[in-house]
Chain A
């Protein structure tokens, strides 16, 4: 079936391949496509329930609450929290000034203590049931203490990238942001100050995998995979040049292609030298923390998970029955 079914299959495979050394998170906006009001009985509501059932099974460490997650009302989010979705939001309060969700989750890998904080866009939605407080004020209160007790701080936040960058600029304690800007597709990790920011695109079509080597030092991209790729390209370029030189074509017809390949070869060599220099001066000398990122496509025709397929089939039946249970 693909989609969430393939996501389940992929997460399971990644978990096995890494010996369980993973943190599984989602920045939010999973239940509904749009902001709005979707009551019980609508197709959107049934789909949201099915997504929630699947997320319970996927075993997330933390899930942020995005603006669209509140489209089924606070009741649906609280209900699915009880079912097992680890919703995380530091700035959703009730009218008695009490937090409605866990502000952060803690995860340990070896001796490394990782805090996963959730932030909900204050401009998200207005409701008589809850208040979304200003993220800056809430983080200013929360992060100094959290930074003392944890080694790495990760923030889940679904709001526009410009607002995220403005926010993290004020909090250098934040090491990683998993974002959920609905106007963006996959965004490869980039640094804003000391913070690494990345996100996957809309409609759950990709699974992000950020492999990290963390030692408490500033980030630097892991150059090793890029070097392997560049050396492969150099080898292929050399083979093409060799074939062209030995081909029976006349010199005039080969000239342009050879010039093109030689230009490309010079660029590849320059990039290799640049990365090798970076490796020598950066990673080796300063002991920086490294990362490598991949976006795995979750196509509808991908490998599936039978249990998730069953939930999807049942949800479709309910929708086809027009909401009759």
Chain B
């Protein structure tokens, strides 16, 4: 009984450790989009 509790605690420890490592790694990169433009030149409806 004591032995199996130790095994479960050990497993929980490694599970938490791995989760924290991976979540830090995932947070390292931030994904987003830059929607950009320039030189609309007073054109409401450009043609051509």
B2 interface contact, C-beta 8 A: no
- Cα A298 to Cα B43 in complex, Å, equals 12
Closest to A43 in B: B42
Contact B34 A29, beta carbon cutoff 8 Å: no
- Cα A21 to Cα B27 in complex, Å, equals 15
B38 interface contact, C-beta 8 A: yes
Known: A1-B45, A215-B28. A14 touches B38 (CB 8 A): no
* Residues in A88-127 with C-beta less than 8 Å from chain B: 109-112
0/1 interface trace, chain A 279-320, chain B, CB 8 Å (1 if under): 000000001010000000010100000000000100100000
Q: Distance (Å) between the CB of B13 and the closest chain A CB?
A: 27
- Cα A297 to Cα B20 in complex, Å, equals 43
- Cα A199 to Cα B38 in complex, Å, equals 7
How many positions in chain B have a CB within 8 Å of any CB in the partner chain? 21
* Residues in B3-46 with C-beta less than 8 Å from chain A: 27-46
Contacts of B41 in A (CB 8 A): 29-30, 32-33, 68, 202-204
A208 interface contact, C-beta 8 A: yes
Among A29, A54, A179, A201: residue with most chain B CB under 10 A = A29
| Stretch of A3-11, A166-174, A223-231, A243-251 that contacts chain B | A3-11
Contact B28 A25, beta carbon cutoff 8 Å: no
0/1 interface trace, chain A 205-228, chain B, CB 8 Å (1 if under): 111111111110000000000000
